[in-house]
Amino acid sequence: YSILPTSTQYSRNAMFAGLMPAEIDKLFPDIWLNDEEDGGKNMHEEELLRRQHTRSGRKESLAYVKVIHNRDGKRVLENINNYLQSDLVVMVYNFVDILSHARTEMEMMKELAEDEKAYRSLTISWFENSPLFEILQLIASKNIPVVITTDHGCIRVQNPIKIIGDKNTTTNIRYKQGRNLNYNPKEVFEITDPLKVYLPKTNISSTYVFSIENDFFVYPNNLNHFVKYYKNTFQHGGISLEEMLIPVATLIPNA
């Protein structure tokens, strides 16, 4: 399972740290940024991973690599033998997350990935022609097992839910974190005591509110604009089976 929010800054950091977000915030305040703080929220994944590695008493050598652009993938492919000198290689491949954001912002991508079936088809087409496929084939040829998983899924949103918050409220449309949030509690899942579920509490009245199923949050101001822009896009951060249930696959090369 993923954790709430099903957002990269929470779920992936928690995965690499082996800790819940509030625990990371308490133990490692130097490398944790809350929603309202400026800066990249996933800039310290390797550090969190290495601290967990040390804390767990692991002695194996560890390599971490992050692929954001296609050129990064090609660079990993060119240097794969160097990475494989380590006992454990952890690779973050960001494509699917990037695809979902691009589909929101680019009209052409909306047409190419009109629904879930088309979205999967586009992902498969990319994968079969990507450096990642070549990397996996090369690893298989060396008889090395691979574990594949993710930190969260996504869902195609359809139903707008009104919410009101101040300027410091998070911008994610599947969950909101802030104070003095105004919403219909019957339409959302709310957490009014964040520390009880191991989420950071940035002020005395911090509340987390999550959209469920295929809902998404909109502000009454510019309501029609936001509904038109976000409806039928793939989003994450809230509560649905598609976001919460995540695959874990162990691939063992054929003998």
CB 217 within 8 A of CB 123: no
Full residue range of the structural domain in which residue 208 is found = 156-241
Same domain, 116 and 201: no
- Would residue 222 count as lying in a domain? yes
- Would residue 2 count as lying in a domain? no
CB 155 within 8 A of CB 231: no
- Would residue 3 count as lying in a domain? no
Alpha helices of the chain — where are they, by DSSP H?
8-17, 21-27, 45-55, 70-78, 80-83, 95-105, 107-112, 116-128, 131-141, 223-230, 241-244
User: And the tokens for 253?
Assistant: 């090369």
- Would residue 225 count as lying in a domain? yes
Same domain, 227 and 180: yes
**Location of structure tokens 């994944």:** 45
Same domain, 112 and 195: no
Same domain, 22 and 140: yes
Tens place of pLDDT per residue across the chain (255 aa): 999 999 999 999 999 999 999 999 999 999 999 888 888 899 999 999 999 999 999 999 999 999 988 899 999 999 999 999 999 999 999 877 667 666 666 676 777 777 888 888 888 888 999 999 999 999 999 999 999 999 999 999 999 999 999 888 998 999 999 988 999 999 999 999 999 999 999 888 899 999 999 999 999 988 999 999 899 888 999 999 999 999 999 999 986
Same domain, 125 and 194: no
Sign of CA dihedral 70, 72, 75, 81: negative
- Would residue 55 count as lying in a domain? yes
Same domain, 12 and 89: yes
- Would residue 31 count as lying in a domain? yes
Same domain, 117 and 168: no
Integer Cα distance of 2 and 20 in angstroms: 11
Same domain, 130 and 194: no
Same domain, 98 and 48: yes
Same domain, 170 and 80: no
Residue positions counted in the chain: 255
Into how many domains does the chain fold?
2
Integer Cα distance of 176 and 217 in angstroms: 8
- Would residue 80 count as lying in a domain? yes
Same domain, 139 and 40: yes
